[in-house]
A = this chain, B = another copy of it.
Amino acid sequence: MNEWPFMFFHAFLVYFQSLLQGMKAENKHTKIIVAATKVFAKKGFFTARISDIAKEAKVADGTIYLYFNNKYDILLSVFEEEVRKIVESTEKLLSLESDPRKMLEVFITQHLIAMKKNKNLAEVIQIELRQTNKVIKDYRDNKFSEYTGIIANIIRQGQELGIYRSDIQPDLAKRVLFGALDEVSRVWNASLETHYTVDETANQIISMFLTGILLDPDNLSE
């Protein structure tokens, strides 16, 4: 039998199908990630049910296990995906700036914007950072520390340029700033009370972090 036409067009077939399937698979994976982000944010990791995520993603429960190993794997994926996205967009924005003062302003502003826009994201970071098993934490913190590491790097650059105080420990300052930002956005999600706008909040935090809260810094308590 001459198999030539078969093989030739089989190539086409495979090609077209791969186009479709790539999209399909991507879509389903993404759909589950998006759904899980929403559900985890709303109910927390432990209270969230696999069936909630499945329903939200409009797939069957079993389908989730075609894309993830287990419930925790979903959380991990959601977290890494969200962190990846924010690291990426942050670095893109920062590449446009060279002044470490401006860079911190950009970091602070975009973090707050991101958290405000995507409340799920804020929640999932909260959950991931505090809700899960310590054993696995270290690995993830390494992953996550890419993000906070950006702050430390900005500060180091500023110190080299003589803009930031050299007695400041960058690794401590990065926690101070991240903690401040995180707590502020936590409250946005947790409480129903009205709060300051993103701009106002960003300005205050920038100002506090850069110049402190003292009216007259030269006049410290004795």
Q: Which residues of A contact B (CB under 8 A)?
A: 1, 3, 5-6, 9-10, 12-13, 16, 19-20, 44-47, 99, 101-102, 105, 126-127, 129-134, 137-138, 141, 155, 158, 162-169, 172-173, 175-184, 186-187, 190-192, 196, 200-201, 204-205, 207-215, 217, 220-221
> How far, in angstroms, from A181 to B134 measured CA to CA in the complex?
20
> How far, in angstroms, from A166 to B214 measured CA to CA in the complex?
9
Q: What is the minimal beta-carbon distance from A100 to any residue of chain B, in angstroms?
A: 8
> How far, in angstroms, from A50 to B13 measured CA to CA in the complex?
28
Given A168-B213, A172-B204, A179-B179, 5 other A-B contacts at CB below 8 A? A101-B221, A155-B213, A173-B208, A179-B182, A183-B183
- 26 contacting pairs across A/B (C-beta < 8 A): A1-B19, A3-B16, A6-B16, A9-B13, A13-B13, A44-B133, A46-B46, A105-B221, A126-B130, A130-B186, A162-B215, A164-B215, A165-B213, A165-B215, A169-B200, A173-B204, A173-B213, A176-B208, A178-B183, A179-B179, A179-B182, A180-B183, A182-B183, A210-B213, A212-B212, A212-B217
